[in-house]
A = this chain, B = another copy of it.
């Protein structure tokens, strides 16, 4: 998995979105203008990082051809790149407090058009729902959910878990694990902070 910094992601997104607007491969100076930068040398470092990551085609020697996007990133339909990967879900911190570890390419089919992020599941609390230890989950950032949805919930500001949510009212709500050996608990709404709702899941067998 490719790890990009925030600026690198911004620049890559700009290149991807504007690839068709250039009559030919743009020069570093030209890109600087579009990106609001004053120094070629600074942009150069970012471009080299993207080339190193295989996201951008290298400069053609010293023929000053500039930068061209690679093939895989031109995919029209399922183009996907750059959801922040935040870490594991058992971190016990509010999502906003977690730093983006890296970015992860996620198919469109697994995310929504709202802000999303990726977590890696730690533990077996959702095993009966087909979500296993080590899986990645795509979470739409939200502070509310409907009954029956699977949510990332922060309990008493200390423990983050992935659970079904149910029986929400002004006095209580229920968090239900999908694991026979674990039991559901009822909380006061003030105890529970919803961090997002599950919209996608991925697993690697390698």
Q: Which residues of A contact B (CB under 8 A)?
A: 1-6, 8-10, 13, 23-25, 27, 60, 63-65, 68, 71-72, 74-82, 102-110, 112, 127, 130-132, 135-136, 150, 198-206
Contacts and interface: CB of A to CB of B under 8 A. Distances in A.
Contacts of A9: 23-24
Contact of A202 (B60, B63, B201): B201
A53 to B, nearest CB: 10
A71 B80 contact: yes
A203 B130 contact: yes
A121 B27 CA distance: 46
Contact of A27 (B6, B107, B132): B6
Given A107-B107, A130-B131, 10 more contacts: A1-B107, A3-B63, A71-B79, A74-B81, A79-B105, A104-B109, A110-B202, A130-B135, A200-B206, A201-B205
Given A10-B23, A202-B202, A206-B199, A108 B65 contact: no
14 contacts: A5-B24, A6-B23, A75-B80, A75-B82, A75-B103, A104-B109, A107-B107, A130-B130, A130-B135, A198-B205, A200-B202, A201-B203, A202-B202, A202-B203
